[in-house]
Amino acid sequence: MTNAELAQRINLSPSACLRRVQRLEESAVIAGYVALVRQEAVGRPTSIFVEVTLKSQSEESLKAFERAVRACPDIMECYLMSGDADYLIRVVAADTQDYERIHKQHLTRLPGVARIRSSFALRAISKKTALDI
């Protein structure tokens, strides 16, 4: 929305609103702006959640794995986890055949991987991109 629309919505003048937004940007409360693209609209409707366990949890192993994950275009999210798996990854794919390609070409080639366990999402129940503050 425009600054004028935001100002009206929160009952501030446009100049006061702009100053507040700029302060939020400068303090990194607002990390950036993005366009949200629907996976279905670009031919990648399937989300797969992948648990990855590494052979070693050394600092060097973790860094190498994380560098490789950042370079993989099919991986949308990756989290270092507590519990049984070391990482939880969300991959997007066109279908099961596309996921097989991603699995063969990328996931199995990630450094230090000991085990991969995949689960296909049947449908999204809740998917938020905004925090209530």
Burial string for 13-49 (b: 16+ CB within 10 Å, else e) reads: eeeebeeeeeeeeeeeeeeeeeeeeeeeeeebebbbe
pLDDT band of residue 40 (cuts 50, 70, 90) is very high
Question: Which pLDDT belongs to residue 131?
Answer: 84
Q: What is the pLDDT of residue 104?
A: 96
User: Could you read off the pLDDT of 56-114 as tens digits, one per residue?
Assistant: 999 999 999 999 999 999 999 999 999 999 999 999 999 999 999 999 999 999 999 99
